[in-house]
Amino acid sequence: MRSIEELTKGIKARHQDLDAHAQEAETLGKASDQLVQIMRDLKVPLVKVPAEAGGDQLSMNDQLSYFEALSYSNPTAGWTGFNHAGAAGMAGARLNDLGIDTVFGSGAVPFFAAVAAPSGQFISVEGGIELSGTYRYASGATHAEWFLFTGIETSEQPSVRLACVAAHDVTLGDDWDVMALKGTGSVDATLDSVFVPDHLLADPFVPPERGGTMYEVGYQAYVTGENLGFSLGVCQRLIDEMVTYATTKSRGFDGRLADRGAFQYELGKSQLEVDAARSFGLKTLGEAHHHCAQNSGLSESEETKVVAMLAFSTEAAVDAVSRLYRFAGAESLFSDNVLQRCFRDAHGSALHHVASNVAYDKFGKNLLKRD
């Protein structure tokens, strides 16, 4: 297992390499081969995999720190990376030993794409299932080696299965033409009666084989650290790039932006709000992970608070940098300007359903249940 300090040090050491491929991913609409190799060098897919399966098994709060660092350097690596890591983590926790050997054997660093929504249906056959369906938003699909899909059985008493499907059995769409998260290649993935053997299947309602109760929490709580880490990474990058812009460029007769009191006020306020969002996230996730480490898991109300924190902290950070971005000027409109990329990706992260403000409804409802 690698420590969070070792992992983030590795990212910082490759910052220039990661940053150099950020614009290229936007142009391609997917990660380049060179970027994928950097991610493989860093072993990004292993950071959420249980230690028993050869991974780093980062705590929920350390996941935030890791994906903030990665997303700061390259948003495509950050977004696709947390999808790879989250899916690999779930596979590592729930597959049987033969499945682990198949996916993780011989020191493999498996790149998964995953879709949580149960968009496919399957029938049970001898030795496994046959899975069919179209899954939307399969981030990182264009360089994935495996896919993790959820399927529902077509029977009178349907069951649910997580299925690890080899990439050669999946047909990809060409439908990723978007304004944010452009480099993530989150295309549709389609299967037509694909056979998945028993050792590559798992029942999500059965306790995991490895890793403990962190791998039993609900989907939204499971991905909170990684999602918030992404948002904070691109928001912090926007702030830092604004500081560079403000201190090195003059805007006509107005002089340096850095010398304007209005900008200084908004810069300070924005940084404090992002810092507060980060602190709230680390505190909440640290408490949640402590509960999991004690093998007590998370109650419904505790999970609800974790997810509400994600919605609140994402909203706070994105709102903060949105105000700051108004000082960026016309130069930030160009498609190769890092400021506009950070601005778009920050807003894209806030649109992910796990960061939806529906979480406030559920959290408020739980508050009303208090005696």
Domains along the sequence of the chain with CATH: 4-107 (1.10.540.10), 116-202 (2.40.110.10), 217-367 (1.20.140.10)
pLDDT score at 371: 62
Query: In 10 A of CB 344, how many CB atoms?
Result: 18
Closest residue by Cα to residue 81 from 229, 182, 257, 221:
229
Closest residue by Cα to residue 128 from 38, 215, 221, 199:
199
pTM: 0.96
pLDDT of the chain along its 371 residues, tens only?
999 999 999 999 999 999 999 999 999 999 999 999 999 999 999 999 999 999 999 999 999 999 999 999 999 999 999 999 999 999 999 999 999 999 999 999 999 999 999 999 999 999 999 999 999 999 999 999 999 999 999 888 889 999 999 999 999 999 899 999 999 999 999 999 999 999 999 999 999 999 999 999 999 999 999 999 999 999 999 999 999 999 987 777 778 999 999 999 999 999 999 999 999 999 999 999 998 888 778 999 999 999 999 999 999 999 999 999 999 988 899 998 999 999 999 999 999 999 999 999 999 999 998 76
pLDDT score at 223: 97
Query: In 10 A of CB 14, how many CB atoms?
Result: 18
Q: Which residues pair with 173 in a beta bridge?
A: none
Contact assessment for residue 343 and residue 77, using Cβ atoms and an 8 Å cutoff: no
- What's the first-to-final CA gap in the chain, in angstroms? 44
Pinpoint the alpha helices (H) of the chain: 4-13, 15-20, 22-28, 33-42, 60-73, 75-94, 97-104, 219-222, 224-248, 261-293, 300-325, 338-350, 358-367
- Tokens of residue 270, six digits: 């924005």
Contact assessment for residue 39 and residue 31, using Cβ atoms and an 8 Å cutoff: yes
